């Protein structure tokens, strides 16, 4: 009787979950139920700092071929500031940085204090606002997998979230390191139980950005990193195609571009009274948070008088037109005074002072920089192309990166009602999608 129940249960589970297998030429083939064949899979790949013109390099020839298979934008406009964390979380939420809360690499929250990933901030959900795609997927009962996408580990690691790993990232130029994460995607996509097989995958690659910061956007080391990324993406696509899954789609994006930075004439850190202001620093933006609002105007005027107008601007938060929504700052995380470097200049920061000789050491300058206002700096432009069963073959004009979220949600059939900054119609009206309603 027990054996009968066991066999009956197995048959029922097989029918329900489609995990019945047949042996064919000594290979195990997954039988996909009809309803699952209609489901789409979207694999969103971000290559940090991948400029649109990199596609023309011979070392990116496979990426170029993939970009010609579907939709390709002239370029994608990042949000201000054109920095990594801000724009990856914009791609994930469809919100401008000031609305999703991650307004730069480092900033200050008047309740929580300093945002610093080196102190674990990327693992703390309190910083991350909006509804990222992985949360939307979970709400819509759509399985997902995030591999290193910034913001996805804010609620801790899980079977669906592989947290960013700095030690592994340093080795990621090695084929072995890419292999581990690609293997995980293939294993998960090969899951015969369709209810837990991911339909949305977010996959982040850092090495082009790292090489360009250290060596410059056109350096041989950066070109070598582009080649490794090209090979890794090709490997992923080839491995996925062997699974014969129906309706697989890819969205390839980057967060920003990169400019050859000036390293001969850095902007010296202006004198700021740190008794009156909390200061957060980045090579292209310094933010001053007043401890007492009465100090804002006088300090602003003093900074304007001493500024080097050819290399940086001094802007009051209340007057700024850099952030997409201007002076609105719903989470109160933008500094009261902003010092904004002009491309290709960068601020130089003191790293240490020798206690015996008094000699000041400075942090190394970057040979490649981003973070500048993307509206006025074409070198900050990001990349977008997408291909697969859902996408038409077409080229489209540039668009803002807040529009990626509604495109991915719409493609996967993920319903949302909360307000976002992106507009679904931008890409739907550009006829990027086949007959999906």
Task: Return residues touching Zn ion (CB under 5 A).
Answer: 48-49, 84, 209, 255
Spell out a b/e string for 330-369, using b for 16 or more CB atoms within 10 Å of the CB, else e.
ebebbbbbbbbbbbbbbbbeeeeeeeeeeeeeeeebbbbb
Q: Around 6, how many Cα atoms within 13 Å sit in the side-chain half-sphere?
A: 3
Phi, psi of 361, rounded to the nearest 5 degrees: -100, 140
State yes or no: cis peptide before 68, omega within 30 of 0. no
Choose between 137 and 210: whose C-beta lies nearer to Zn ion.
210
Distance (Å, rounded) from C-alpha 161 to C-alpha 145?
Answer: 6
Nearer to Zn ion, 49 or 198 (CB): 49
Place of tokens 């390099």: 57
Q: How far is the CB of 256 from Zn ion (least distance, A)?
A: 5
| Shortest separation between residue 176's beta carbon and Zn ion, angstroms | 24
Provide the minimum distance between the beta carbon of 87 and Zn ion in the complex, in angstroms, as a whole number.
7
Minimum CB separation of residue 368 from Zn ion in Å reads 11
Instruction: State which residue, 172 or 209, has the beta carbon closest to Zn ion.
Output: 209
Q: Which residue is nearest to Zn ion (CB)?
A: 84
Whether the upstream peptide bond of residue 81 has omega within 30° of 0, thus cis, is yes
Q: Which is nearer to Zn ion, 136 or 208 (CB)?
A: 208
What lies within 8 Å, CB to CB, of 325 at 6+ separation is 96, 98, 99
Least distance from Zn ion to the Cβ atom of residue 255, Å: 4
Output 48 or 62, the one with its CB closest to Zn ion: 48
Residue 82 CA, distance from chain mean position: 11
Smallest gap from Cβ 109 to Zn ion, in A, equals 22
229 Cβ contact list (under 8 Å, min separation 6):
47, 50, 60, 63, 205, 207, 208
Shortest distance, position 257 Cβ to Zn ion, whole Å: 9
List, in sequence order, every residue forming a beta bridge with 337; answer none if it has no partner: 288, 316
Name the residue nearer to Zn ion (CB basis): 85 or 144.
Answer: 85
Instruction: Identify which of 201, 199, 133, 94 has the alpha carbon closest to the alpha carbon of residue 424.
Output: 94
Q: Judged by CB, which is closer to Zn ion: 146, or 299?
A: 146
């Amino acid at each position: 009787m027990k054996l009968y129940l066991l066999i009956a249960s197995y048959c029922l589970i097989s029918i329900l979950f489609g995990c019945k297998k047949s042996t064919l030429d000594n290979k195990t083939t997954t039988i996909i139920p009809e309803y699952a064949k209609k489901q789409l899979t979207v694999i969103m790949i971000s290559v940090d700092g991948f400029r649109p013109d990199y596609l023309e390099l011979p070392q990116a020839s496979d990426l170029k071929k993939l970009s010609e298979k579907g939709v390709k934008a002239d370029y994608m406009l990042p949000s201000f500031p054109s920095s990594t964390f801000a724009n990856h979380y914009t791609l994930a939420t469809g919100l401008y940085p000031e609305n999703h809360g991650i307004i730069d690499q480092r900033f200050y929250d008047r309740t929580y204090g300093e945002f610093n990933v080196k102190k674990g901030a990327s693992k703390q959900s309190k910083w991350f606002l909006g509804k990222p795609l992985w949360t939307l997927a979970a709400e819509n009962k759509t399985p997902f997998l995030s591999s290193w996408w910034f913001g996805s580990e804010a609620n801790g690691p899980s079977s669906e979230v592989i947290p960013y790993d700095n030690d592994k990232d340093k080795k990621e130029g090695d084929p072995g390191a890419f292999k581990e994460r690609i293997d995980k995607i293939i294993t998960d996509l090969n899951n015969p139980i369709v209810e837990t097989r991911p339909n949305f995958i977010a996959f982040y690659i850092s090495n082009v950005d790292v090489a360009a910061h250290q060596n410059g956007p056109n350096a041989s080391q950066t070109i070598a990193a582009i080649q490794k990324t090209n090979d890794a993406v090709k490997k992923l696509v080839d491995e996925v195609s062997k699974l014969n899954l129906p309706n697989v789609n890819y969205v390839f994006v980057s967060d920003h571009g990169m400019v050859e930075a000036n390293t001969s004439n850095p902007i010296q850190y202006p004198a700021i009274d740190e008794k009156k202001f909390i200061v957060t620093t980045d090579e292209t933006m310094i933010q001053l948070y007043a401890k007492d609002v009465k100090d804002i105007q006088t300090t602003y005027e003093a900074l304007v008088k001493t500024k080097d107008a050819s290399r940086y601007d001094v802007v009051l938060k209340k007057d700024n037109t850099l952030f997409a929504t201007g002076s609105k700052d719903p989470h109160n995380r933008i500094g009261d005074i902003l010092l904004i470097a002009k491309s290709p200049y960068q601020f130089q920061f003191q790293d240490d002072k020798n206690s015996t000789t008094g000699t000041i050491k400075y942090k190394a300058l970057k040979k490649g920089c981003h973070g500048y206002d993307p509206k006025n700096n074409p070198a900050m432009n990001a990349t977008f192309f997408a291909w697969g069963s859902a996408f038409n073959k077409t080229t489209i004009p540039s668009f803002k990166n807040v529009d990626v979220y509604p495109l991915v949600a719409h493609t996967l059939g993920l319903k949302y009602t909360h307000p976002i900054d992106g507009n679904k119609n931008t890409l739907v009206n550009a006829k990027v999608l086949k007959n999906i309603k």
